[in-house]
Amino acid sequence: MLQILQSAHITSHIPLQFQEPSLVISYSLDLTRTLASTMNALVPWPHDSPSEARRDGVAPITTFYTPKFDGFPWDESLLHDESPEERDRRIRHEQLVEKQIRSEKRQEKYSNLWRSFRRPLLMPFLTVDDDSRKVKRIRGSYTVPFIPGEMWRESNLQVGHAPTTNIVRRDNSDLIPPISIDATRQPSTLYLRNALVLQPPAPSLGNPQLHPLLQHTYTGQTALCFDIGRPPTGTMWMAGGPIPTPLSEQDLAQPATHPLVTQMHIADIADDPAPTFSHSILVHNTCGITCGDVFETIWRHFQEHIRPDEYDSWSPRRRDLAARAYHKRVHEPLDWAQPNNIPGRRDGLRRIDYMGDKVMFRGLEPSPRKDNTWLMFVGPP
């Protein structure tokens, strides 16, 4: 035993020859355990699964080790028992959150009580802030607040209004002809508008004109803020003012191309390092594809779960990026309109996780291959 310990360069601050027999045996057993744990850490034992290796205290050989894809990413940092430091940190965080919630409830309670007194007594002579701390007296007469013209949208004030992002604006001039002073017969200024002859949409055209909401811009702010990982109800129209305005149903009903087509094939994603895009997007509508069809199809496509053959074709770095995106996504609501709809850790890998942080729609362009397909541009938030 002494030769083994000396060969392993493990020595003690107390010489072995001066120890008592019982102490020597105890000390030798301790060093033997230390040596065994060191050898296990250096030379991993063959285990059947990563869970057995974790129970025995030996880390898996590679970060991306997984015998068979089961729909969930491999995250080594989550497969360990909670340490005392992590438990103390979690308890402190929960206590701080509970304290903050109690403080907000108490502040809201006092604020509501103060508003119940200030409204019948102080208004309309005084104006009190929402924080109920500053009081200002109104000087001058009551006037309607000024709103800049670009912040108004005619589409929100009428029923059956025209879309706000038309490709072609029609002439809405008055149909009543002017009355001549001399009452003589004048040629009528009435004219017939060009009749729109509805043609059946073509399956696919080589170079159709895209709607402005779908066009890709190389520089500047895009005309659309659309997260491909969330429903199109969260799509925002950003052109025309500093405040994002939700797209109306009339905007989503606009034709995606001119002339109309019944099929659009998005075959590639720009800047994708994969040799081939494993899951292409096919938009189809027999009555003609609209902008809403494009947004809805893109969102539904990236909500599908990853197949095992797709996962096996990914590189180790792509799997790592997808795992990071997955663990971030499962703790956030799927829909902005439903903040409590959180998928949870048992949701499984989806195609949106393949995109990593590039989840914002940046527009479409015809494919450089000129095969009637489209190239989609995406970017980070």
pLDDT digits (tens, 9 = 90+) for 327-358: 888 887 776 666 677 777 778 889 999 998 89
Question: How many angstroms from the chain centroid is the CA of residue 247?
Answer: 18
Per-residue burial over 281-319, b = 16 or more CB atoms within 10 Å of its CB, e = otherwise: bebebeebbbbbbbbebbbebbeeebeeebbeebeeebb
Question: How many angstroms from the chain centroid is the CA of residue 262?
Answer: 28
User: Is it the case that residue 94 has pLDDT exceeding 70?
Assistant: yes
Range from 72-76, 349-353, 366-370 carrying the lowest mean pLDDT = 72-76
Overall domain count for the chain: 3
Q: Give the pLDDT of residue 181.
A: 47
Q: In what order do the strands lie in the sheet with 236-237?
A: 224-225, 236-237, 245-246
- Find the mean pLDDT for residues 251-280: 85
Is the bond into 187 cis (omega within 30 degrees of 0)?
no
Question: 295: Cβ–Cβ under 8 A, 6 or more apart, which residues?
Answer: 226, 232, 235, 252, 361
- Among the listed residues 270, 345, 276, 282, the one whose alpha carbon sits nearest the alpha carbon of residue 314: 276
Q: Give the pLDDT of residue 201.
A: 65
* Residue range(s) defining the domain that contains residue 277: 203-304+350-379
End-to-end CA distance of the chain: 63
Regarding whether 104 and 43 lie in a shared domain, the answer is no
The reply to whether 59 falls in a domain is yes
Are the CB atoms for 295 and 232 separated by under 8 Å? yes
Residue 284: which H helix or E strand, with range?
A: strand 281-284
Regarding whether 124 and 28 lie in a shared domain, the answer is no
Measured torsion, CA atoms of residues 223, 228, 233, 234, in degrees rounded to the nearest 10: -70
Alpha-carbon distance 362 to 224, whole Å? Answer: 8
User: Is it the case that residue 380 has pLDDT exceeding 80?
Assistant: yes
3 state SS of 362: strand
Condensed to tens digits (0 to 9), the pLDDT of residues 139-188 reads 444 444 444 544 544 434 333 334 444 443 334 444 444 444 444 554 44
- Find the mean pLDDT for residues 274-302: 88
**Integer CA distances (angstroms), 83 to 41, 77, 80, in order:** 20, 12, 9
- DSSP class of residue 260 equals -
Regarding whether 260 and 363 lie in a shared domain, the answer is yes
**Integer CA distances (angstroms), 120 to 79, 115, 123, 125, 126, in order:** 59, 9, 6, 10, 11
Which residue in the block uniquely carries the two structure tokens 């994603």?
269
Range from 47-56, 205-214, 328-337 carrying the lowest mean pLDDT = 47-56
Regarding whether 227 and 131 lie in a shared domain, the answer is no
**Which of 63, 78, 93 is at the close of a domain?**
78
The reply to whether 149 falls in a domain is no
**Which of 113, 137, 161 is at the close of a domain?**
137
Regarding whether 375 and 268 lie in a shared domain, the answer is yes
Condensed to tens digits (0 to 9), the pLDDT of residues 122-144 reads 555 554 444 444 444 444 444 44
Q: How confident is the model at residue 266 (pLDDT cuts 50, 70, 90)?
A: very high
DSSP 173-236: ---SPPPPSS---------PPPP--PPPPBS--SSPEEPTTTB--SSS--SEE-BTTS-GGG-E
Regarding whether 276 and 368 lie in a shared domain, the answer is yes
Regarding whether 112 and 215 lie in a shared domain, the answer is no
Measured torsion, CA atoms of residues 29, 30, 34, 39, in degrees rounded to the nearest 10: 0
Regarding whether 91 and 49 lie in a shared domain, the answer is no
